Structure 1
Amino acid sequence: MLRRIGTAGLLTASLAACGFAADGAPAARPPASQASPTAEPVPSGTPATGGVSTTAPAGDPVRRTLARMSVREKVGQLFMPVVHGTAADTVSGENQARYGAQTPAKVVAKYHLGGVILFPGNVKSVGQVVGLTNGLQKSSDVPLLIGTDQENGLVSRMSAVMTRFPGAAEIGATGRPALARDVARATGAELRAMGVNLDFAPVADVNVDPRNPVIGKRAYGDKPDQVAKMVGAAVKGFDAAGVAATAKHFPGHGDTRVDSHTGLPVVKHTRAEWERLDAPPFRAAIDAGVDAIMTAHIVFPKLDPSGDPATLSKPILTGLLRKELGFKGVISTDALNMAGARVKYDDGEVAVRAVLAGADLLLMPNDLPKQYQAVLKAVESGRVSEARLDQSVTRLLTLKKNRGLLGKAPVVSAAKAAEVVRSAEHRRLAARVR
């Protein structure tokens, strides 16, 4: 995203979660083949793998948490805005401009947020990030997903404090998926040590067009099978570190010459071309158990002739990703302050249409108060059924449970984080890839 969030100038935190715009042992994961009574059915013969399960047996913490939540609290779970500043209890200038005299912690509590995303403006030191994430977690009744874009390489939001690993193109060029796995595991370990439990990585786009202005070296390469192997390995690496991974940008942003931060790209692949060029890395991510998949703000006429971007397309998100590919995890939008998401509809309508299309997590709303109210009103009016809302909240809570985040708010240790972040082992790994 090329617009700054707030009023303090241009070109900072609103570099989107897609690109220019996650302490302790990993939690056990339930079988991915389990399905929720309220989840969309998976057709016979469709793979039932991929990400979090939405099953909530009696006595399960997901079911207990959902049962005690109000509609307002459920709606809040869908949103993941940027937080401004370096401390949970301090009002920064940008926070003042956007929310008035409310600290980040108060914004989390007011809107019952399901998560927040961190950018370079939130990052000064390892100890400071630990203080921020601990403070944010303490402000929420339901533990937060705390995300960031640490792809490594071109998009590395926390590079000020983390090991500088090579980006996807360099790793892909080695032809060694094991390196993709090891770098993802090390990246995830550093993030988790600082209280970040979700990474918007890996990039699953195949860089079909070398003139692509937004993907380029963020992709593992230009060969679908090669990228698929790297993506699957990276997902397993993040999982081993106990951090949620997000494959992006579905259904594939690799063959565009328009940047969706500033416009609305159109991909003219036929369905057969999509199956051959774009689909393999996403299938590999699902097979590897990826926690989340991020949408692309791109029009794909052969998959949906409506002219809506994939982020707002029910045929693409619910029809293709859920029913045909069998993905049961969390569907995250790309950042909703990007131009590609806002060409056809106003901010409130964008948020509602994303939910109706099948999205679970509404990332970086352009106007949180307006978009929160729009979704709330849509539920209260019946335009979005409460059953549909419960599907998304169940998926989000299940992801949190699988990552050890339901129950008592997680607290991370600054001393332990200092041992993990930029460790000698990780620096040696970074050098080995180059």
Structure 2
Amino acid sequence: MTDPRRAIPRTDALLADPEVAVLVARVGRGRAKSVVVETQAAAREGRLSVERVQPVVVQRLAALAASATSLRPVINATGVVVHTNLGRAPLGPAAREAVFAAAGYVDVELDLADGQRARRGRGTLAALRQSVPEAEDALVVNNGAAALLLATTALGSGRELLVSRGEMVEIGDGFRLPDLIESAGARLREVGTTNRTTVEDYRAALSERTGALLKVHPSNFRVTGFTASATVGELAELGREHGIPLVVDTGSGLLAPDPALPDEPDAASVLHAGADLVTASGDKLLGGPQAGLVLGSAELVARLRRHPMARALRVDKLTLAALEATLLGPEPPVPAAVHASAQVLEKRTRALADRLAGAGVPVEVVPVAGRVGGGGAPEVPLPGWAVALPEGYAAPLRHGDPAVLARLESGRCLVDLRCVPQEQEEDLVEALLGVAAGGSGATGRGTG
């Protein structure tokens, strides 16, 4: 019988593997070769299966490459897709490769054809316009709050911005949009009431001091019952009558309608309804890097681009590269996780449970509702499944390597695969089995 160890990949073949080669360039050939040799030795000694050699080499080299930072990779087993505490959107492979490619010298502000200075990030801006044809022009700044700040400062500094009282929101960690906007010299004038605001409320508040009409998507809460709000179309018509621009902050970064999120506003629809400018985040439902997007009227976008504040809020080449790759590349992790099939998730979860049960781990498969997170679609459940373990598993999983963040609910530790790529499942299984083997209160309730 042929010895399976003969199938262990050769050192030169592993170093030439595309996934490995990218990491070799980051950690150096000497360090990379040492990792390869150690991993091959583990396989020869039977401590590692042959088929795990290449994935383990990639995992160990990635850990080495990340060792220059205090940030630790985490497997997100919470079922919350855009998890703020975990850095919101995980970048897809195309975006990661783009960031690596852009780390050196690149033509971010240079036209190589004539050697002259060119518009910064022109490829990314073209990708945004291609993704949202309703936008005449686009601008990228460093986050969603910055996009709104720049728009309201350029259009409303020293003037009044009309906004519904029901849209004076706080978006998390005590951060309030009214404070942000007024910090740059604009004055917010509230119209209507908390639960009911009509276009006539805006009309009654118009004056020569009005700089813009502002509509803010509440994102992380809903007001229900006896309610009313002015539509984008109504406000756009009012703005055109009086020559006043309408700025709509959609928040989540959805660029086009998504049937799975029917109440979530998207940039294309809002612009089609008549908004002059739309501001949004790039690192939420779009699934890209942290960025703020401004889309809409070419004249107004140019006005924002010329404003002195734009320089302070601009993004670097790495963000531009990642955003362009997210827009033009394959589906990134966030929309893939949002649209993950409950049937597929159940199949994966039961397979995981079978492996754990076979190792003597007390486990149960339970239905769960995942969440979009990041303030997006707060009332939309994402049907899925989870492996339920004793609560005491939570803390050891967080402290492991790799760290695993699960969800604590009703005295149980729930491991949800919605946000766990299939290529990370083996690492997750090893982490779970490691906690089970280590004991340390994992089978008890613990404190998490």
Higher RCO (CA-CA < 8 Å; seq separation 6+): 1
- State the TM-score, normalized to the length of structure 1: 0.27
Whose strand proportion is higher, 1 or 2? 2
- State the TM-score, normalized to the length of structure 2: 0.26
Larger Rg: 2
